[in-house]
Amino acid sequence: MDFQEKTGLPHTQDVPAFLEGLRRLKEESGLTLRQLEQRAAAKGELLPRSTLSSMLSGRRLPRPELLATFIRACGHEERVDAWLAARDTLAAGLRSEEDPAETAPAPAAPAPAPAPAPAPDGPNPTAAGPGPVPAAPVPDTDTEGRGTHASRSRPYRRLLRPRLLVPLAVVALVGATAGVLGTRSEDPGPGPATAADAARESSGQTTTRTAREKGEIPRGAIRLHPLSADRLCLTDGHVRDGRYHSQVAVQRPCDEAPPQKTELRREPGSDGYRIQWHHPEFGTGCLKVLDSGPGKGLLEPWDACDRAELFQVVPAPGRGVVTLRTEGGRCVGMAEPVTAERTEAVAQRCTTGRHQLFRVEPAD
């Protein structure tokens, strides 16, 4: 019997079959949960017995990084990519099944359509000026259109330039944006609710709540130290190759971080957190994972925190050590070289590497 026959990999047409294949793989390895944990630890990876037990007895797809670590611990490193591909295929199928439900409210959306021009991009105008400016319809093209102002004077590309104009901008846009913001608040509604339900059944999210209740996530200003370069802190900077001109998250010596301050702010009514930056000149910005353009994968501060990334702060072994999971199921990690100063933080496939682990400590 070859490997594929033993694991059932070719027959993983649904989640139960996939999980059954994992259980068969564990049985064929002849290893106990403790032995699998020890084998993973010998390779510098994390595979807690309790987590592994939950995965094998559960009904949900395992996280990609957990799956990869398990496959390697079973002695089939050459099959990791095949298992991950099978998992991704199943996950994509589950998402496509959920899409109709999520898009069902769409027919009601045309109602605000007659006046969309001033609204969609009101929170991120290309210039905090006259009303016609919001006619630019797409936030991404808006940011590219800020050219000279973005590259020279404003590190927080999405922050409003003259801060005294904020009250005027709010007054001018509040009427036009009220309806659209209302519909936007409805769009994410089903998502977080579904995610919350799933989170209550997942040990990972339970661990996150426990960590918060124990006070392991400090309030106020913090430092985020990548474990791959613990002497450095995640703070503001620029990409080394110049492909992107706005400020993004990089690792620098901690004493160079001031006056910028970092906070992990829990989103009300959610288990998620915003990574919030405060700067005396540029104001407040929350990190957003860019999903297109030359900055794809980078973390950029946005002034509209409600449209920035909502991270899951998942505790890892070690006091104050966490992983930062994005809304897209990826993890924040340091690009190569992971130990160098000014290396960028990027959203990448989750692993158990130290470059994706961060130690959180109070800044004071």
In tens, the pLDDT along 35-71 reads 998 999 888 888 888 788 878 887 888 988 899 999 9
Q: Check residue 11 and give its pLDDT.
A: 58
Within 49-126, residue ranges assigned H as helices are: 49-57, 64-73, 80-103
Two structure tokens written together for 288:
């957003």
Residue 352 has phi, psi (to 5 degrees) of -110, 20
CA distance 135 to 120: 9
Q: Check residue 97 and give its pLDDT.
A: 65
Which residues in 91-116 are b (16+ Cβ under 10 Å) and which e?
Answer: eeeeeeeeeeeeeeeeeeeeeeeeeb
- Please give the CATH number for the structural domain made up of 15-93: 1.10.260
CA distance 274 to 265: 5
312 contacts 325 by C-beta, under 8 angstroms: yes
CA distance 158 to 282: 10
CATH 2.80.10.50 residue ranges in the chain? Answer: 218-362
Q: Check residue 364 and give its pLDDT.
A: 75
Two structure tokens written together for 188:
């994410």
Q: What is the third-level CATH fold of 218-362? A: Trefoil (Acidic Fibroblast Growth Factor, subunit A) (2.80.10)
**Residue 256, SS3 per DSSP:** helix
pTM to 2 decimal places:
0.47
Spans of the chain, pLDDT less than 70: 1-12, 96-216
* DSSP state, residue 355: G
> Per this entry, what is the length of the chain?
364
Q: Check residue 248 and give its pLDDT.
A: 95
Q: Check residue 178 and give its pLDDT.
A: 44
Q: Check residue 222 and give its pLDDT.
A: 95
Two structure tokens written together for 26:
């564990």
Sign of CA dihedral 194, 198, 200, 205: negative
CATH 1.10.260 residue ranges in the chain? Answer: 15-93
Q: Check residue 49 and give its pLDDT.
A: 81
